[in-house]
Amino acid sequence: MTTVCFVGAGSVEFTQDLVADILGFGELSETHIRLHDIDEDRLATALGVTLSVARQRGAHPRVTTHLDRR
C-alpha cells in the first residue's frame, strides 16, 4: 500500500488540493494518508476535509492523524 505523509496538514487549503489530486488517480484511491500537524484543531479540520474529498472522489483511503511530527 502506498503511504503519503503530509507534515503541516493544518494548512487545510493546500492539503485539500493535494489530496484531491492524489485521490484522482484510481491506483491511489486506497492509499494510506498520514496527516501530521502540531495544532490539534487544525488537524481535526484537515481530517474532515480529507474524508470529504475522499467521499467526493469515491475513494477509500486509510487516513490517520498525528500530533507528533515523527
Query: What pTM value is reported for the model?
Result: 0.91
pLDDT recorded at residue 68: 81
Cβ 35 vs Cβ 3: under 8 Å: no
- Give the whole-angstrom CA distance, residue 27 versus residue 56: 16
pLDDT recorded at residue 1: 81
User: What are the pLDDT digits (tens) for 18-70?
Assistant: 999 999 999 999 999 999 999 999 999 999 999 999 999 999 999 999 998 76
| Number of structural domains found in the chain | 1
Could you report how far apart the first and last alpha carbons of the chain are, in Å?
Answer: 20
Task: Classify residue 39 by its DSSP letter.
Answer: -
Domain that holds residue 32: 3-66
CATH number for the domain harbouring residue 24: 3.40.50.720
Q: In the block, which residue shows the cell 507534515?
A: 7
